[in-house]
């Protein structure tokens, strides 16, 4: 399998508009498309069987999250060219629950329908779930809300945000994963154990590779997720590099479900660096700092190559600058223990590191090449 | 059948949110909703069979319009709570053509996809079809457009607009009809004879009634369309008053299709008045004036009751006021001949009648009661 070539977004873009199509025109019943916000869009053609397979996976996701025919599922992601809305809806209908097809935006109407129809499940991005939770708190209408579960996808989100939404809405939340190139959302999901996301290995072959050496990593090791479709007809893909960072989880899940698991997506390979043979990605550092009292969320990782070896410096904001020495030692110890690398920690006061309205640059790699 | 009671939008609104539901919760897989822009929205629950039946009717519509598996169908109506987008998409997919699920707006992207994917069918409102036609003319890209057919619904539209879109896009256009309360769009459509819209009498029973006496009218006479659902499970409706004005067309269609026909929708009963036992609606007057050289599109109908009888006055703008006397006589003659009622015609210069940014009031009924 390792001898097979990889495919990547660039290959797909070159195929625009319908170069990926692997069956005759009369067998294609639908297209979906990525937004094209970062370049030429990618168009994925679907056969009737592709739509049915996706819908089958989506139904499995909903079953893993405990949904039944009596659930009323408020679908807030978009419809149209994007794969989200209609994929969720088809799965809900296949399960036999009630789809409440809202589409994105119009929070006023979302809250009205949530109350009037007694919706029991919210499908949304994490940002939108947070916004809805905050609106419900602000209006004091929590007792009029009947939500029990959230199916949340499309963005990486931290435990803090998760806890906030869960407690504020009083729901259990399930991460759902997917990408336009591979059906859409619904190719893996959390079960109620919340100890990894089950993916459907009868439809998809998952590998995790080292993004530098491109060699597959053993289960348990974190790297880039690579997916091969096993049944897709309209646009099959071989070893497609998702650039999403995760790991395969060895062993069986206590939930009893036989489908294998991968861990939550912790970032993108664009955010990842390799230092002394170890992959480091910001989500790890986010998580590490969140676990240390007195450390803020703001940091910078600076990597230099000095005297023939990599040197890692971590600038980090701390609450109590009088306690800098202790904090520096503590953070460096934790870094070594949890991420496995020695780091020089330089604490500073909160507000000293740059703030950014867009995406904050956190990794500065000064090594050549 | 005439002894059965009517149902009306008011009854449906009173049933908000789910009072119309006629089956247990576990059998409902979806809701759709009217916009609620003119009051409480109406929510229609669908069973799996309802969705399948609707999709079957929609596929029949596409077959009547001549679509095949090789067509690429650009769907511009909205998705979500509205019944439009997903109804069209399900029908396209059931037929086996390729759905290009655009949803509303973003004309730039619509035109791009239309060219890149070589879309052969446009589904839209008449307004949006006109906008797209104008954009294509403006950009001079007609030779890059592969459209052959338009499936146009949701708004009443005149022959002039139709001719304009057809010639500018070089397509054949098919009127499609439907309403949220009765599945959605796709319950009737033009065939290629364009001599009436076929409706599916195995799913729906159509009557045309006199909106005053509420008595059914014979085929060929114009009145209000009343629909009874024959197979709907989620929210069956008995003698639902659509308030749309049309007539049933007697006889068989030369196209060979056995499904019966109704005429295009010419207006709403809200726009309709009964004078001397004859129903008059603005669309008739629009059409009449359009056929008379020198008459503008702007008019007012004033109805008074004098000396025991109804008197009809028609204020109408004309191009050449020096020719008022002749025009007045001509318009009155045509009115009598085509609409069947004597009218006092008072011509005035173009621009003298009020203009309105919203809906223009054209009928002023001064009779008591």
Instruction: Summarize pLDDT for A244-270 with one digit per residue, the tens.
Output: 999 999 999 999 999 999 999 988 888
Q: Which of A145, A164, A198 is the last residue of a domain?
A: A198
The residue of chain B nearest to residue A91, with distances taken between CA atoms, is B29
B52 close to A (CB below 8 A): no
Min Cα separation B244/chain A (Å):
27
A23 close to B (CB below 8 A): no
Bigger pLDDT: A158 vs B118: B118
> CA torsion sign, B64 to B70 to B76 to B78?
positive
Retrieve residue A317's tokens: 């904001």
Let me know whether B252 and B323 are in one domain: no
Does residue A296 belong to any structural domain of this protein?
A: yes
Give the whole-angstrom CA distance, residue A26 versus residue B92: 12
Inter-chain CB proximity B30 and A89 less than 8 Å: yes
User: Which CATH number characterizes residue A188's domain?
Assistant: 3.40.50.12780
Let me know whether B278 and B174 are in one domain: no
Let me know whether A39 and A170 are in one domain: yes
Q: Which of A173, A198, A223 is the last residue of a domain?
A: A198
Q: Check whether B15 has a pLDDT greater than 90.
A: yes
Helix axes A48-64, A84-95, angle to 10 degrees: 70
What pLDDT sits at residue B369? 54
Give the whole-angstrom CA distance, residue A97 versus residue A74: 11
What pLDDT sits at residue B358? 67
Let me know whether B103 and B227 are in one domain: yes
Let me know whether B328 and B188 are in one domain: no
If one counts the domains in chain B, the total is 2
Let me know whether B243 and B291 are in one domain: no
The residue of chain B nearest to residue A115, with distances taken between CA atoms, is B17
CA-wise closest residue to B185 among B103, B91, B260:
B91
Q: Check whether A178 has a pLDDT greater than 90.
A: yes
* Greatest distance between any 2 Cα atoms in chain B: 71
Does residue B1 belong to any structural domain of this protein?
A: no
Tokens 């054209």 locate to B362
Q: What is the average per-residue pLDDT within B98-123? A: 96
Q: Which domain holds residue B18?
A: 9-266
- When CB atoms are compared, the residue of B16, B29, B32 closest to A96 is B29
A169 close to B (CB below 8 A): no
CA angle B145, B149, B155 (to 5 degrees): 110
Give the whole-angstrom CA distance, residue B215 versus residue B224: 10
Does residue B360 belong to any structural domain of this protein?
A: yes
Does residue A116 belong to any structural domain of this protein?
A: yes
* Beta pairing partners, A179: A182, A183
What pLDDT sits at residue B117? 97
Let me know whether A193 and A333 are in one domain: no
ipTM of the prediction: 0.89
Neighbours of A286 (CB within 10 A): 19
Tokens 């069947």 locate to B340
Let me know whether B126 and B237 are in one domain: yes
Give the whole-angstrom CA distance, residue A86 versus residue B350: 50
A30 close to B (CB below 8 A): yes
Retrieve residue B14's tokens: 């009173």
Neighbours of A178 (CB within 10 A): 23
Residues 59-88 of A with CB under 8 A from B: 69-70, 79-81, 85-86
The residue of chain A nearest to residue B31, with distances taken between CA atoms, is A100
- When CB atoms are compared, the residue of A29, A32, A45 closest to B93 is A29
CA angle A330, A333, A337 (to 5 degrees): 140
Q: What is the average per-residue pLDDT within A9-33? A: 96
- When CB atoms are compared, the residue of B31, B81, B103 closest to A80 is B103
The number of residues in chain A equals 369
Let me know whether A192 and A292 are in one domain: no
Residues of chain A with Cβ-Cβ distance to B43 below 8 Å are 117
A48 close to B (CB below 8 A): yes
Q: Check whether A231 has a pLDDT greater than 70.
A: yes
Min Cα separation A362/chain B (Å):
35
* Beta pairing partners, A190: A197
Let me know whether B150 and B190 are in one domain: yes
Does residue A231 belong to any structural domain of this protein?
A: no
Let me know whether B152 and B170 are in one domain: yes
Does residue B4 belong to any structural domain of this protein?
A: no
Q: Which of B205, B238, B266 is the last residue of a domain?
A: B266
Does residue B221 belong to any structural domain of this protein?
A: yes
Let me know whether A80 and A193 are in one domain: yes
User: Which CATH number characterizes residue A324's domain?
Assistant: 3.30.300.30
pLDDT digits (tens, 9 = 90+) for B320-345: 999 999 999 999 999 999 999 999 99
Does residue A253 belong to any structural domain of this protein?
A: no
Q: Do residues B345 and B331 touch, judged by C-beta distance below 8 A?
A: yes
What pLDDT sits at residue B313? 95
Q: Do residues B232 and B261 touch, judged by C-beta distance below 8 A?
A: no
């Amino acid at each position: 399998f390792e001898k097979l070539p990889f495919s990547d977004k660039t290959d797909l873009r070159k195929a625009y508009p319908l170069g990926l199509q692997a069956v005759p025109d009369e067998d294609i019943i639908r297209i979906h498309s990525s937004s094209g916000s970062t370049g030429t869009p990618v168009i994925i053609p679907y056969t009737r069987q592709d739509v049915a397979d996706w819908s089958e996976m989506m139904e499995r996701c909903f079953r893993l999250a405990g949904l039944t025919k009596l659930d009323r599922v408020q679908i807030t992601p978009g419809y149209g060219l994007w794969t989200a809305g209609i994929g969720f809806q088809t799965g809900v209908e296949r399960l036999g629950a009630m789809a409440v097809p809202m589409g994105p935006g119009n929070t006023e109407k979302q809250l009205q329908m949530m109350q009037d129809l007694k919706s029991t499940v919210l499908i949304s991005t994490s940002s939108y779930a947070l916004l809805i939770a905050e609106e419900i708190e602000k209006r004091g209408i929590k007792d009029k809300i009947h939500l029990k579960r959230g199916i949340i996808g499309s963005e990486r989100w931290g435990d803090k945000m998760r806890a906030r939404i869960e407690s504020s809405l009083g729901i259990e939340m399930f991460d759902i994963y997917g990408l336009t190139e591979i059906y859409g959302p619904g190719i893996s999901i959390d079960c109620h154990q919340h100890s990894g996301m089950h993916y459907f290995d009868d439809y998809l072959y998952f590998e995790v590779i080292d993004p530098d050496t491109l060699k597959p990593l053993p289960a348990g090791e974190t790297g880039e997720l690579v997916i091969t479709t096993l049944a897709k007809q309209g646009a099959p893909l071989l070893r497609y590099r998702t650039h999403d960072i995760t790991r395969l989880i060895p062993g069986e899940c206590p939930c009893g479900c036989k489908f294998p698991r991968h861990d939550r997506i912790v970032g993108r390979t664009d955010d990842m660096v390799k230092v002394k043979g170890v992959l480091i990605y910001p989500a790890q550092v986010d998580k590490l700092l969140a676990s240390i009292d007195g450390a803020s969320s703001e940091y910078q990782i600076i990597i230099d190559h000095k005297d023939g070896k990599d040197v890692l410096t971590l600038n980090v904001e701390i609450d109590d600058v009088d306690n800098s020495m202790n904090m520096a030692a503590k953070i460096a110890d934790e870094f070594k223990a949890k991420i496995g690398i020695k780091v020089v920690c330089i604490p500073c006061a909160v507000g000293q590191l740059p703030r950014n309205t867009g995406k904050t640059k956190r990794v500065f790699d000064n090594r050549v090449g």
